A and B are shown apart, each in its own frame.
Chain A
C-alpha cells in the first residue's frame, strides 16, 4: 500500500523541476467494479436471515468523479496526479403484511494516484495518449440494517474500512477547443489489491471463514474538460 502513495509523491516532487507546461482536468463518468467478495457477503446475508431476502441492488456501476493535473516532461510524456471518488452499494429487502427487513450496503472509495502519460498521436486539434497510474485508495463500508414488525422496530449501523493499492491502465483522448481549453475522455481498467474490511476494533467481516474485501477492479469510463496554463 505504501508503495502506491510513495510513487505518487515522487512524481509530484519531480514536477517543479522538470515541467515545461501544465494542464488540469475534471472528469466524470461510470465506474464498473467486480465486488466479488461483497456480492458473496450480500448473498450470504440474504439466505441466512429469518426470511429469504431479495437483492434489489448488487453493487452496480456508478458514478466516478476525478480531477488531476499533468506537467509536460521531455520525450512527449506527462506526469502528474489524479484524485478520484467512487461509490456503489447494494440492498437486501423483504416486506410482507407483517413488516419489513432491509439491509443496505454503501461503499465509498476515495483515492490518489500518480499518473504518467505518453503521447502516441498528435494532430492539429487532438491528441491520443496512453497512461498508467499507481496509487492508494481508502474504502468505507456502511452497513445499515433495520427490521420492523407491526409497531416494533429495531435498527443497527456498522462501519468498516480498508486501504487498497490501486493500479490503472488506459488511453486518454484530448480535443482542443481553444488554445487553453480542451475536452478529455479516458477509458481504463483499474486493478485493486483490496485490503480486508475491518471495523474500528480491527474485526473483519467473514463469509464462512474468509475475510471480505471490497474490490473495485473494473472498467472506468470518464469524460470531462481540461485547461492549460500559460507557460
Chain B
C-alpha cells in the first residue's frame, strides 16, 4: 500500500493530464477542401415560344382562344404569362382567352413571356431557382365593335321615316343591305324592298315611302362573311274617331306623322282628296235613315298607300263604332280585346285605349293572366303582358318548350301548350313543368282555376304540385273548353257536344244538328256557347245542347253582347244577347 504514499509524485502527473485534455479538445479534425466547377454557358438556340397564330400581328375581333406552343428541350417551364398592354390575360394552363370587349380598341402590344429553368446544370438550376425569361412580342389588333348591326331607332324627324342602325366598324366591310318587309294585315310580312348601301358611314336609310302601318326592317352586312341582322318591327297607325255634325258624320284622324312621305289623303274611295295636313272630313250623307255605309281613308305616297277604313253604321239605330271586332272581355281589367292586324284594347265604353303589335293572346277566364308568344328577332318567346298596355309584365320565357300551339292559361298561372310530340303544363312565373304527356297538338284545355287539365282525351287533376290522371273521355273531340272549374265542353265534327262534369266523372252528350264547328267560345255572362260553323255562327245552351240562335254571318259573344262585323272586321256593331233568347 505504499503506492499512494508519495502524494507529491502524483501531483506531478496532474499537469500532463490537463495538457492531454487540452490537446484532445483543440485538435479535433476540421473538414476542409473546396472544388469549383465551371459551368458551361447555356445554349438557348432551340428554345422558342409561340402562339397559335399565323403571324405576329393578331386580329382579335371576337372572343378568341390562343394556344401556346413551346420548345424548351429538357428545361422545366415555371410559368407562361400573356400580357395584353401590360395586363395579364386570363389563362388556363397553355391556352389564353381574349375577350375583345374587355380591352381597348386598336393595336395593343401583346407580350408572351415564358419563365423557364436556365438548364445550364448549375446548382441554382438544379434546385430550381435559376430561371430565364423568353419573350415573344406580338401586336394584337382589338376590334370589339358589333358583328351584326342592330337597328337602333326609327326616326320621324322632318316627317319622313329614317331607319338607323349601329355602324359596322370592322375593317372587312363591303356593304350594308337593308331589307324592308311590308304587311297588308299586320301579322304576315313579305320582302318589299332591298337597298344596298356601300358606305360604311351611312348607317341610316330614309324610307321616303313609309306613310304608316306595320313594317319590318333588317340590316345585313356583307363583310368577310354575310352577317345577318335581327328583324325589328315598327308600326304607326292613324288614330281615328268620328263625331256628328247634326245628322252628318264627321271623320277625324290624327295628324300624319310621316307627312313628308305622304302625297295626299283620299277619303271614301276617292270621293274626296285632301291635303296631308287635313285631319277631318264631313260626310255629306244624312244618317237619319238608319242605313249602313262605309267610309275609307287612304294615305297615298308617291309609290304606295296605306288604307284606314271607317265604318259608320246606324244599324237598328243602336251604336256606331270604328273599331275591329272585340272577341274577348277581360273582367279583371274591364277591357275588350280586338284584332285587325293590330291588337286593340277597348274600354268598357268601347273606346280605344291601346294599340299594339302582339298578334296572339291567351287570357285566363278571370283575366288575371295574359300570355302572348312571338318572335324576338329569331328567338321564339312566351311572355306575360299587361292587360291594358300590352307591355311585357312578367318573366320572358325562351326555351325548348316554347309551343307549337298555345291552348290557354288558368287564373292560377298555369299555361297549357303543345310542342310536338308532347303537351305541357307550365306554371308561372318560372314556367316550371307541372304536366307533360305525349299528345296531339290540339284539344288541350285548362279549367279557370286550374283544377283540371284536359290533354289527349283524358282529364288530369292538379294535386298542388303536378297534374295526375283523373278520368278518360271518349276520343274524337275537335274543340274543348272548361265553362267553369268543373265542367268541360267538347265539340266533335258533326255536332256531337259533350258536357263532362269532371268532379263527378259524369258525361252527357247532345247532338247539334248541322253544326260543323270551326271554333268554340264561352261567355260566362250570358252562360252560352258560341260556335263558328261553315255557314255562320250558332249560340248554344251548354246545359242542354239547345241551339238558341243561328246567324248567317260571323260574330262574337262577349260580356253578354253579340258583336257583329259585316265589313271585313274593320267595324262592328253590338246587340245585347238577351235580344236573341
Task: Give the residue of B9, B30, B36 whose beta carbon is less than 8 angstroms from that of A95.
Answer: B36
Interface-located stretch among A59-67, A197-205, A212-220: A59-67
- Measured between beta carbons, the chain A residues less than 8 angstroms from B13 are 24, 69
Take A50-B123, A51-B123, A95-B36 as given contacts and tell me if A106 and B29 are in contact as well, using a CB distance cutoff of 8 Å: yes
Contact with B along A98-126 (1 / 0, CB 8 A): 11110011111010000000000000000
- Given known A26-B19, A230-B6, contact A106–B30 (CB-CB < 8 A): yes
Q: How far is the CA of A57 from the CA of B32 in the complex (A)?
A: 7
A84 to B, closest residue via Cβ: B24
Question: Which residues of chain B are within 8 angstroms of A106 by Cβ–Cβ distance?
Answer: 28-31
Which of B125-133, B263-271, B489-497 lies at the interface? Answer: B125-133
A91 to B32 Cα, complex, angstroms: 7
Tell me which of B9, B29, B124 contacts A89 (CB under 8 A).
B29
- A99 contacts B30, CB within 8 Å? no
A67 touching B17 in the complex, CB below 8 Å, given contacts A106-B29, A149-B123: yes
A103–B171 Cα distance when bound, in Å, is 67
B34 within 8 A of A: yes
Bound-state CA distance A93–B121 (Å) is: 16
| CB <8 Å contact, B126 and A56 | no
Q: Which of A15-23, A128-136, A164-172, A188-196 contacts the other chain?
A: A15-23
- A83, B20: Cβ atoms closer than 8 Å: yes
Interface 1/0 per residue, B112-147 and A, CB below 8 Å: 000000000111111101100000000000000000
A88 interface contact, C-beta 8 A: yes
Residues of A near B39 (CB, < 8 A) are 96-98
| Cross-chain contact B123 with A93 (CB below 8 angstroms) | no
Q: Are A62 and B29 in contact (CB under 8 A)?
A: yes
A54 CB, min distance to chain B CBs, angstroms? 5
- B16–A67 CB distance below 8 A: yes
- Is B580's CB within 8 Å of the partner chain A? no
Interface residues of B in 5-51 (CB under 8 A from A): 6, 9-10, 12-13, 16-17, 19-20, 23-24, 27-39
How many chain-A residues does the 8 Å CB contact rule pick out? 50
- B35 near A94 with CB under 8 A, answer yes
Interface SS of chain A: strand
Counting contact residues on chain B (CB < 8 A from A), the size range is 35 or more
Do B23 and A91 touch across chains, with their CB atoms under 8 A apart? no
Name B37's closest neighbour in chain A (CB-CB).
A96
Contacts known (A50-B127, A110-B24); A56 close to B16, Cβ less than 8 A: no
A46 to B254 alpha-carbon distance, docked (Å): 101
Is A179's beta carbon under 8 Å from chain B?
no
A4 close to B (CB within 8 Å): no
Contacts of A17 in B (CB 8 A): 1
Contacts of B32 in A (CB 8 A): 56-57, 91
User: Do A50 and B3 have beta carbons less than 8 Å apart?
Assistant: no
Could you tell me if A229 and B6 are in contact, using CB atoms closer than 8 angstroms?
yes
Partner of B3 from the list A15, A26, A56, A96 (CB cut-off 8 Å) is A15
Chain A residues with CB under 8 A of B34? 56, 93, 95, 100
- A62, A66, A94 interface centre (most CB from chain B within 10 Å): A94
Is B2 part of the contact surface with A, judged by Cβ < 8 Å?
yes
User: In the complex the two chains form, is B31's CB within 8 Å of A90's CB?
Assistant: yes
Contact with B along A32-71 (1 / 0, CB 8 A): 0000000000000000001100101100001101110101
Known: A50-B126, A91-B33, A96-B38. A85 touches B24 (CB 8 A): yes
Are B123 and A100 interface neighbours, CB within 8 A? yes
B93 at the interface (CB under 8 A from A): no
A96 & B31 in contact (Cβ 8 Å cutoff):
no
Task: Name B29's contact: one of A87, A96, A98, A147 (CB within 8 Å).
Answer: A87
The answer to whether B27 touches A65, judged by C-beta atoms less than 8 angstroms apart, is yes
Is the C-beta of A28 less than 8 angstroms from some C-beta in chain B? yes
Q: Which residue of B lies closest to A91 (CB)?
A: B31
**Within 8 Å CB of A96, what residues of B?**
36-39, 122-123
- Bound Cα distance from A57 to B33, whole angstroms: 7
Inter-subunit contact A56/B33 (CB<8 Å): yes
B29 touches A95 (CB 8 A): no
Tell which of B4, B20, B30, B123 has the most Cβ of chain A within 10 Å: B123
CA distance A26 to B13 in the complex (A): 10
For the complex, give the distance between the alpha carbons of A213 and B340 in Å: 107
Given contacts A65-B20, A97-B122, A229-B10, contact A16 B4 (CB under 8 A): yes
- Complex-state Cα separation, A17 to B3, whole angstroms: 9
Distance of A184 Cα from B20 Cα, bound (Å)? 16
Docked-complex contact B124 and A149, CB < 8 angstroms: yes
Given A24-B16, A67-B16, also A57-B35 (CB < 8 A) = no
CB neighbours (8 Å) of A57 from chain B are 31-33
Closest to B28 in A: A87
B20 contact set on A, CB distance < 8 A: 26, 65-67, 83
Min CB distance B128 to A, Å, is 9
CB of B2 within 8 A of CB of A231, answer yes
Interface of chain A residues 142 through 188 with chain B (CB within 8 A): 147, 149-150, 152
Residues of the B chain whose Cβ atoms lie less than 8 Å from the Cβ of A150: 124, 129
Does B31 contact A63, Cβ atoms closer than 8 Å? no
Q: Chain B residues near A95 (CB, 8 Å)?
A: 34-37, 123
Contacts of B125 in A (CB 8 A): 98
Task: Report the Cα distance A230→B2, complex, angstroms.
Answer: 10
Give the Cβ gap from B210 to chain A, nearest Cβ, in Å. Answer: 78
Q: How far is it, in angstroms, between the C-alpha of A99 and the C-alpha of B17 when the chains are bound?
A: 45
Which of B1, B29, B34, B126 counts the most chain A CB atoms within 10 A? B29
A216 to B542, CA, bound (A): 119
Task: List, in ascending order, chain B residues with CB within 8 A of A231's CB.
Answer: 2
* CA gap between A104 and B127 in the complex, in Å: 20
Residue of A nearest to B13 (CB): A24
Whether A16 contacts B123 in the complex (CB less than 8 A), given A24-B16, A104-B31, comes out as: no
Interface residues of B (CB under 8 A from A): 1-4, 6, 9-10, 12-13, 16-17, 19-20, 23-24, 27-39, 121-127, 129-130
Q: A91-B33, A229-B9 are in contact. List 16 more A-B contacts (CB 8 A).
A: A26-B19, A50-B123, A51-B121, A56-B32, A56-B33, A56-B35, A65-B24, A94-B37, A97-B39, A98-B122, A98-B130, A104-B31, A106-B29, A106-B31, A108-B29, A110-B24
What are 22 A-B residue pairs whose CB atoms fall within 8 Å in the complex? A15-B3, A16-B3, A26-B16, A28-B23, A50-B123, A56-B32, A56-B33, A65-B20, A65-B24, A65-B27, A67-B17, A87-B29, A89-B29, A96-B122, A98-B39, A98-B122, A98-B123, A98-B130, A108-B29, A149-B123, A152-B129, A230-B6
Closest 3 CB pairs between A and B?
Answer: A56-B33, A85-B24, A98-B124
